[in-house]
Structure 1
Amino acid sequence: MSASKLFNFILFSLISLPAISFSQANQFRETLRHTEEISHEFPDSAFKLLKDLYPKVQKAEDIMSAGICLQQMGEVCFKLGHYAQSFDFYNQADQIFRKQNNKLLLARNLNGVGLVYYYNQQKQRAREQYNQALIIFSRLNNQEGLAQTYSRLGHLYEKEKKPDSAFVFQRMALAYISKTNRTNEIAKIYENIGSIHEDLARYDSAEYYFTKSLALYKQVNNQQACIEVINNLGDILRKTGKPAAALLKSREALKLSISKNDLYGKTSALRDISKAFNLLNRNDSAYYYLELSRDVSNVLYSTEGTRQTAFLQVLYDFEKKNREIKDLENISHTNSVITAATIIIIALLVILGWVIIGRQRLKLKDQKSLSEHKDRLYENEKKLMEIALENQRLQEENLTQLLNSKSAELSNHILNLVQKNQVLEELKNKLMNIIKDDKRDHKKHLQQIIHQINHSFSQEQYWKSFTGIFEQVHQSFFDNLKKHSEDLTANDIRLLSLLKLNLPPKDTATLLGISPESLRVSRYRLKKKLNIPENESLTSFIHSLKTV
């Protein structure tokens, strides 16, 4: 086995974690389904089960079950009014669902967090949570989740005194939930719509939706919800001037709350009965039932206080146990890390020793081969350098010969031009003298000769040949000139070229076919075009230009 394979095997053996069995995961999920069912009626019992289950799923490293467990504990704490602890459990579940990328559970958790914000009077934060949940449910096309979220948004707008928006969201919730078989949720939405109508004093519509809600609750035998709806119907009857009918509804709610031992429902029913008797002008009975309501309320507060104390004790035990578990896990983790680190260090030292010995042998062998290779490489580079230097010397000689040849050719060309123009100048002067004579019969013919001579001064083919040779000798001269001025004419460039060659003024004037005076004027104008300072000569400027 190679060193790298040995190291990988040791590392894999140390970091491999035991995987949870499929049957164990199913057992955890089944327990969580049970706790969710009983949490509606027996939240205390559900929390105790969840408290015992949570360390087990942690030990088994069932991350998803741990998240669901935390989420359900958040729901139970919310139902019992412990909002801070509920928020903490929901946040822990949120981190797990996001890390596991479980969108469905994350959206449901967001709805739970939104409800906590709502009951803490943070409506804007609640709306933000609902909107995030809505986006996820829409992408998952989850009808039930969309219905629940729309319903909660509708309830939020109802409490903000925005009935139109509340109706819109509740009806959207009803449209989605109607596609499922969730009778309880459909009944709850009808109850919410009835509540909005009641706030708007639309008592007939409110009674209609409360009645539909009650029928559905009875269909699924949700007696807890029935108590609240029956009390709502009693309120409607009292508000519409039907106290006798309201009294019957309140008595029905009282009977049902007694059978369910629902102290909240019992208190509300007794209070509503008192109100009905008051409307019937039976004040003795009204007072009697009001006192009964107060007695039940005192019992409720006492029972609730005992219950909250017991729950807080359970919560404290849970947190204490969690801290102990975390401390043990930290100690265990530290010991595991130390053991693993020790084994890895020993293994690395063995591997390192083996590698060092092997590398030392290879190093000696490589050094010998490298030394021989360097010697050969040095000899080859030396030969190549000698060849390159010889080639460079030959190229420089060729370039020097070529430049000398071009310079000689340029000088000869200029000399020929000067000689030609001198001859032409002499001929021109002689002919001018002939014209000045009074022999008018030769004047026309002589003028034609002068015209031909003048024309020969401006022939371009000589200048083209001159320019070609000049550019070979003085490279980039014309380009550098154009950087100083874009307005140079062909005559300006010719004059500058001749000045670059250091020709005498007389020869320069002859080549250009102008007088020495005209040459001075051209030089002055050219200096202005090139923006040359007055204290600098044109010749110095020309020779300062780079031509390579």
Structure 2
Amino acid sequence: MKYLFLLLTVFLTTRLAAQTEAPILISATDSPLTTPGFPALKDSLEKALGHKDPIAAAGILSRMGETCYHLGYYPQALDYHLQAGKLYREARQWIPLAQNLNNIGTLYYYSRQPAEARSYYDEALSLFTRAGNFSGMAQTLGRIGHLSEKRHEYDSAAYYQHKALSLFARSASQDGIAKIYENLGSIHEDLEQYDSAYHYFSKALELNLLQHNRLATIEIYNNLGDILRKTSRFAESIPYTRSALALALETREEYQLSSAYRDLSKAYNLLGRNDSAFHYGELSRESLLNIYSRESGKQLSIIKAMYDTGKKDMEIAGLRNARNTAISLVIGALLLALLGILVISRQRLRIRNAALLRMQEQQQFQTRTELLQVQEESLKQELEVRSKVLGTHTLHIIQKNQLLEEIQGKIVDMVNDDRRDQKKQLKQLQQLIHQNFNHDQHWDEFRNIFGQIHESFFDKLKSYCSGLTANDLRLIALLKMNLSSADIAVLLGISQDSLRVVRYRLRKKLQLKQGESLTTFIQSV
């Protein structure tokens, strides 16, 4: 159950990133909560095509692409946007075409094809520039800047964001200016320039409050809370996060609500108030489950609409076949020679329909496969990030303990000196350093991250022996990481002789036979 919830969290976190991460995404007003139902859009598309209104059809196709984008169907969303772009281009509707190109670029960005995304952004920028549309130019520059930020090209990212800011100022778009301030804050946050990040986020908050943009205000409150937590001002972060929570409850923004609950859980955990941290963590989990349930319903609706469309096409083909058959029967009495031709024609039509059905099934299978690949890649990236964090914490502890060991040795030499006036203070300092070997906050962080990477490892281990102490579990975790005895001794702040004694006692607790390797046993759990 824990592993299932982790998968759900990663999947919905990815969806949340798609809703809030990129600058001025597919539509500033549409979201999964406000986008019309997919079946209704299908019906509207058929009417527009029936009335031979390509511009209206292109707009509906674009909306269908947005719906699929919000639900994570990137290949299907790309198909709809490409169809819309073709209609806009034929009708010479340059501004809608440029907006649609931006949407396609965003889809390529989330499909991890930055070069393709940049080419579509550049074409959109060219169209907006030729039309003299400052707002469109600014939006596109903001997207290019965001793309540069995610590629860690921070100088380019800041350059494009400032260009977008000047263009938004010329078009007097306060919402656009606020979004660029938020993007600049994100850049400085990535660079760990937290004072500058706080400054830009605060300016974005001021503008969003004036514009009554509640969704953007929620995001800024969360960003400010993040900055304060990263600068160890945990208590100061809570009012911002609570403001975000209140707005999310008021606007029923489930994604933002889950994020606010999660941030409150982090803050209270950092403050040592674990009861409150657990409470808000559970609320975040319930919110994620609600989102998953709602998203599943929307996905089923889209699948049903696609199925109904295919079924309707087959019924139309069947009616046509029946009509052809009736005509052939009437004519067959007079022209028996044509019967063979009609039979062959019918067989060809059946084969063509079967081939079309197989093609549709292959496309659906490919779509599902691509979605699974995206989800698998997200899980791999999450595991890689946590593994790197675990290695970083381990290296930090080793370096810190080695430094303390060196300092302790020097102090011992000084204590052995005849200068009696310093002995008392040096002995106290020596005792303090020795205590610090086993009381480091990084051990708690190490165990939390280790438990996330090696799920249920400790539970399986306790099935062999329920009397393991915290020190036993700490030693077992280091052995699981294949660290050398020298590194383990440094991490635990003990000598290698003491380590051999500790390992012997652990073997007895685990009831290992003589000659059986302790490390091999732990690796097999």
**Larger RCO (CA within 8 A; separation ≥ 6):** 2
Query: Matched residues in 2 for 1:108 and 1:287: separation?
Result: 44
Amino acid at match of 2:283: L
**In the superposition, relative to structure 1, how do residues 265 and 318 fare at CA in structure 2: closer, same or farther (>3 Å)?**
farther
Q: Which one of the candidate residues 138, 146, 158 is aligned to 1:167?
A: 158
Query: Matched residues in 1 for 2:127 and 2:295: separation?
Result: 37
2:209 aligns with 218
Query: Matched residues in 2 for 1:277 and 1:322: separation?
Result: 57
Alpha-carbon shift at residue 84 of structure 1 (Å): 1.1
**In the superposition, relative to structure 1, how do residues 104 and 243 fare at CA in structure 2: closer, same or farther (>3 Å)?**
same
Alpha-carbon shift at residue 39 of structure 1 (Å): 3.0
Confirm whether residue 144 of structure 1 aligns to residue 117 of structure 2.
no
Query: Matched residues in 1 for 2:212 and 2:309: separation?
Result: 34
State the percentage of identical aligned residues.
43
Confirm whether residue 108 of structure 1 aligns to residue 99 of structure 2.
yes
Alpha-carbon shift at residue 107 of structure 1 (Å): 1.5
**Which secondary structure does the structure 2 equivalent of 1:311 belong to?**
helix
**Which secondary structure does the structure 1 equivalent of 2:120 belong to?**
helix
Query: Matched residues in 2 for 1:153 and 1:323: separation?
Result: 44
**In the superposition, relative to structure 1, how do residues 39 and 311 fare at CA in structure 2: closer, same or farther (>3 Å)?**
farther
Amino acid at match of 1:143: F
| Residue ranges of structure 2 left out of the alignment (5+ in a row) | 1-26, 324-525
Query: Matched residues in 2 for 1:313 and 1:282: separation?
Result: 47
Alpha-carbon shift at residue 85 of structure 1 (Å): 1.2
Alpha-carbon shift at residue 197 of structure 1 (Å): 0.8
Alpha-carbon shift at residue 237 of structure 1 (Å): 0.9
1:71 aligns with 62
Contact kept? 1:274, 1:286, Cα under 8 Å = yes
Query: Matched residues in 2 for 1:206 and 1:328: separation?
Result: 64
Alpha-carbon shift at residue 309 of structure 1 (Å): 1.8
Q: Which one of the candidate residues 280, 284, 304 is aligned to 1:289?
A: 280
**Which secondary structure does the structure 1 equivalent of 2:36 belong to?**
helix
Query: Matched residues in 1 for 2:316 and 2:186: separation?
Result: 47
Query: Matched residues in 2 for 1:330 and 1:166: separation?
Result: 59
**Which secondary structure does the structure 2 equivalent of 1:281 belong to?**
coil
Contact kept? 1:110, 1:132, Cα under 8 Å = yes
Amino acid at match of 2:55: M
1:52 aligns with 43
| Aligned pairs for 1:149-228 within 5 A | 149-228=140-219
| Aligned pairs for 1:434-449 within 5 A | none
Contact kept? 2:39, 2:301, Cα under 8 Å = no
| Aligned pairs for 1:75-90 within 5 A | 75-90=66-81
Aligned residues: 298
Amino acid at match of 2:64: M
| Aligned pairs for 1:295-444 within 5 A | 295-318=286-309
Contact kept? 1:43, 1:79, Cα under 8 Å = no
Contact kept? 1:194, 1:209, Cα under 8 Å = yes
Query: Matched residues in 2 for 1:275 and 1:260: separation?
Result: 23
State the Cα RMSD in Å: 2.8
**In the superposition, relative to structure 1, how do residues 102 and 207 fare at CA in structure 2: closer, same or farther (>3 Å)?**
same
**In the superposition, relative to structure 1, how do residues 331 and 89 fare at CA in structure 2: closer, same or farther (>3 Å)?**
farther
**Which secondary structure does the structure 2 equivalent of 1:191 belong to?**
helix
| Aligned pairs for 1:25-36 within 5 A | none
2:240 aligns with 249
Query: Matched residues in 2 for 1:247 and 1:176: separation?
Result: 35
**In the superposition, relative to structure 1, how do residues 175 and 309 fare at CA in structure 2: closer, same or farther (>3 Å)?**
same
**Which secondary structure does the structure 1 equivalent of 2:170 belong to?**
coil
**In the superposition, relative to structure 1, how do residues 111 and 163 fare at CA in structure 2: closer, same or farther (>3 Å)?**
same
Query: Matched residues in 2 for 1:248 and 1:323: separation?
Result: 58
| Aligned pairs for 1:396-545 within 5 A | none
Query: Matched residues in 1 for 2:317 and 2:133: separation?
Result: 37
Amino acid at match of 2:70: K
Alpha-carbon shift at residue 157 of structure 1 (Å): 0.5
Query: Matched residues in 1 for 2:210 and 2:261: separation?
Result: 26
2:252 aligns with 261
1:457 aligns with none
Amino acid at match of 1:100: A
Confirm whether residue 230 of structure 1 aligns to residue 221 of structure 2.
yes
Amino acid at match of 2:298: R
Confirm whether residue 133 of structure 1 aligns to residue 132 of structure 2.
no
Query: Matched residues in 2 for 1:194 and 1:212: separation?
Result: 10
Query: Matched residues in 1 for 2:184 and 2:313: separation?
Result: 43
Alpha-carbon shift at residue 152 of structure 1 (Å): 0.4
Alpha-carbon shift at residue 46 of structure 1 (Å): 5.4
**In the superposition, relative to structure 1, how do residues 139 and 155 fare at CA in structure 2: closer, same or farther (>3 Å)?**
same
Contact kept? 1:43, 1:76, Cα under 8 Å = no
Alpha-carbon shift at residue 151 of structure 1 (Å): 0.5
Query: Matched residues in 2 for 1:92 and 1:76: separation?
Result: 15
Amino acid at match of 2:143: R
Query: Matched residues in 1 for 2:28 and 2:37: separation?
Result: 9
Query: Matched residues in 1 for 2:307 and 2:28: separation?
Result: 24
**Which secondary structure does the structure 1 equivalent of 2:232 belong to?**
coil
Alpha-carbon shift at residue 240 of structure 1 (Å): 1.6
Amino acid at match of 2:201: F
Amino acid at match of 2:116: R
Query: Matched residues in 1 for 2:46 and 2:114: separation?
Result: 34
Confirm whether residue 121 of structure 1 aligns to residue 112 of structure 2.
yes
Contact kept? 1:70, 1:90, Cα under 8 Å = yes
Deviations 1:338-396 (A, max 9, x none): xxxxxxxxxxxxxxxxxxxxxxxxxxxxxxxxxxxxxxxxxxxxxxxxxxxxxxxxxxx
Query: Matched residues in 1 for 2:68 and 2:233: separation?
Result: 40
Alpha-carbon shift at residue 186 of structure 1 (Å): 2.1
Amino acid at match of 1:42: L
